[in-house]
Amino acid sequence: QVQLVESGGGSAQAGGSLRLSCVASGYDNTRRRMAWFRQSPGKEREGITAIATSTGATYYTDSVKGRFTISLDNAKNTLYLHMNRLKPEDTAMYYCAAGSFYLDGRTWNTGKFYTYWGQGTQVTISS
């Protein structure tokens, strides 16, 4: 059983930066993919970036490409999301997720391929 705990959310001005962290405990050696999803009120949850835990391969959705960076510190069992040049439309609840499927370009942003989820951390960006 893996538990994921996010932190680092908060408020920022447009153009600013935030860094989210997700600590994984109860280490599961089949945790092959990790990702960040987000959900805004009235919108569906969307996968925004994912990383393969062994190779470090990454995927990004177009809306965050070039602004957000996902990284993983395996020694600390911690996943990060570095968010730069933030926009008001980045306002959402952000969730960390982990799963045992090998990461691929077709399913990286599909929620059902992730088994474990954090409780979420709110990010609010003002203009």
Q: What is the pLDDT of residues 41-62, one digit of tens each?
A: 999 999 999 999 999 999 999 9
- Separation between Cα atoms, residue 32 and residue 44, nearest integer Å: 25
- Mean pLDDT over the full length of the chain: 95
- Give the residue among 81, 75, 76, 79 at the shortest CA–CA distance from 99: 79
Structure-token pair, residue 46: 């969307």
Q: Average pLDDT for residues 94-116, to the nearest whole number?
A: 96
* Nearest C-alpha neighbor of 91 from the set 49, 45, 125, 51: 125
**Residues above pLDDT 70, as percent of the chain:** 98
The percentage of residues in the chain with a pLDDT greater than 90, rounded to a whole number, is 91
Structure tokens at 33: 């993919």
> What residues contact residue 90 under an 8 Å CB cut-off, 6+ apart?
38, 64, 83, 123, 125
**79-91: per-residue pLDDT in tens?**
999 999 999 999 9
Instruction: Give the pLDDT of residue 2.
Output: 86
